[in-house]
Structure 1
Amino acid sequence: APDPPAGPGTIVIKDFVYSPIPAQVKLGQSITVTNEDSAAHTLTVPGGVDSGTLAQGKSFTFTPAEAGELDYLCDIHQYMKGRIIVE
């Protein structure tokens, strides 16, 4: 039997770190980022998708428009960086 389609990609922000890095999804698959920190964070792709400020426990879901690598950061803490690979 064929494998069931993969569930949506998930990125968790905890202790000022995005996990996993890199996150990998198939084109057309959505990604949900959830902030588990007490501090607010964002997931911002420069010139692209921006979650806006996520308070603790808040989530943001988006679907990448094209294949490739998306490098992102936290607009509030710019040393926080991550990458999404869209296949």
Structure 2
Amino acid sequence: AGALQLTVNRDGLRLSRRGLQTAEMHHRYWRGEARRLRIFIDRSSVEIFINDGEGVMSSRFFPGYPGQLIFSGATPVAFCRWLLRPCMV
């Protein structure tokens, strides 16, 4: 389990998490104005689509349970959450 931090400011985005093997911090960056984000999280990864696909960030991620989202800042945030049923293939 681990924490994932997404920082959004006027310069772009920074996605940060601790390494899976070590405690070293790993960062991914996207430069530019982020007007719209679509974030998909499952049991082992996170995918972030920026401005309807203009940019994409992804990372391995094993969220704790129950999941928790924390927002801070002055910009209003709206989100939708979908719970998916397990699928057998």
TM range (shorter): 0.3 to 0.5
TM-score by length of 2: 0.34
TM-score by length of 1: 0.34
More relative contact order in 1 or in 2 (CA 8 Å, sep 6+)? Answer: 1
